[in-house]
Amino acid sequence: MPIAIFALAIASFGIGTTEFVIMGLLPEVAASLNVSIPSAGLLITGYAIGVVIGGPIIVLATARLPRKITLIGLAMLFVIGNLFCAIAPTYGLLMAARVFTAFGHGAFFGISAVVAGSLVPRNQRARAMAMVFAGLTLANILGVPGGTALGQIAGWRSTFWAVVVIGLISVAAIVAWVPSDRGATAPPSLMREFAVFKRLQVWLAMAISVMAAGATFACFTYIAPILQNVTGMQPNQVTWVLLLFGVGITIGNLIGGRLADWKLMPTIIGALTALIIVLAQFSYTSHSVIGASISVFVWGCVMFILIAPLQMRVIECAGEAPNLASTLNQGAFNVGNAGGAWVGGLAITMGAPYDALPLVGAALTVGALLIALASWYLAKQQPTSVLSVS
């Protein structure tokens, strides 16, 4: 992989850390700013909303700029946003800083995926995208636990200062290592970016992303109570199982990149089928410590086999104007995350036991699989470039 991709992975690591580390620091943030823990939890929701809304706005605003310049600007936005988080004196200003930081999240990952794919031969594009997302997966293994520990020892603001340093390193790496635009077939065009949304395959690919993410978060949002109330684990044991999940998603991400470069749609369909099986059996293995631990690891692996292939599918369907579609697919993942958490919570409210949530996730994955099969069938009947929603 070109060294430029590692520059993008560094930024991905920092972005992943700042997105998720707040979960481990909620008590400290709530106590420091004199708000309740549920109110502090809204900082996570605010970030997700910023990702969904901000990504398209940033892409459209920078449509005519070279991608390298845009990436440098997004990395600087990330640095400034985390700087504001570190010094925010009130809850309201911290929320504003979180939303501001999130505005660059979707656009950065969307454009990074396009740039990474342009730096390598066609048969390595998914692996290059997977290397960018590897920074995000490593954030769950190293950045989030490390940032949580630092925040608990030196105060939660120290975590954001550390992320600012990571962001500055990523800016320097992008400036030094990412080459000027390459691989684009034509200059950036706002109209061309919008035109891709006439293509049904683009919408189908993003629908798969929404459903797949929703399937995981319908269950994963409530993984702690599942492991404690159903499996019977202690809180410290839950931490180790979540670490297993992080290792699983890292391995799965790299496997998914290689498989997608080999056979893209068969990889997506095969991974969705495997995800249905893993989630369905987790409903039963969740009653065993060993069974639950193995299932969570395999679950993470199978889920992240899908990430690079789904991103590549959207980019391929978008053709010569991938920036907006690639960015919106990042928003699609976040919509799925929020929607899945809502569906899981609704199931619990309606009286479903915690060990039924994996079955809810499996049912949502069936929906994703049906969409993927329909997309594959239609692609065989008509070229993607002419398959239109009009």
Q: What is the pLDDT of residues 77-107, one digit of tens each?
A: 999 999 999 999 999 999 999 999 999 888 8
Nearest-CA neighbor of 43 among 110, 3, 101?
101
Helix ranges restricted to H, the chain: 3-20, 26-33, 37-61, 67-87, 91-118, 125-138, 144-154, 156-177, 190-195, 200-220, 223-225, 235-262, 264-285, 289-305, 307-318, 323-349, 357-381
Mean residue pLDDT of the chain comes to 87
- Are the C-beta atoms of residues 94 and 43 closer than 8 Å to each other? yes
Burial 293-331 (b: 16+ CB within 10 A, else e): bebbbbbbbbbbbbbbbbbbbbbbbbbebbbbbbbbbbb
Q: How confident is the model at residue 188 (pLDDT cuts 50, 70, 90)?
A: low
Percentage of the chain exceeding pLDDT 70: 94
Give the max Cα distance, the chain.
60
pLDDT tens, position by position, 104-130: 888 898 899 889 988 989 888 888 988
pLDDT tens, position by position, 322-353: 778 888 888 888 888 878 888 888 888 888 89
The domains of the chain, with CATH numbers, are: 3-187 (1.20.1250.20), 193-386 (1.20.1250.20)
Contacts of 120 (CB under 8 A, 6+ apart): 1, 2, 5, 127, 128
Contacts of 26 (CB under 8 A, 6+ apart): 37, 40, 41
- Are the C-beta atoms of residues 131 and 34 closer than 8 Å to each other? no
Entry pTM:
0.80
CA torsion 281-282-286-288 (nearest 10°) is 50
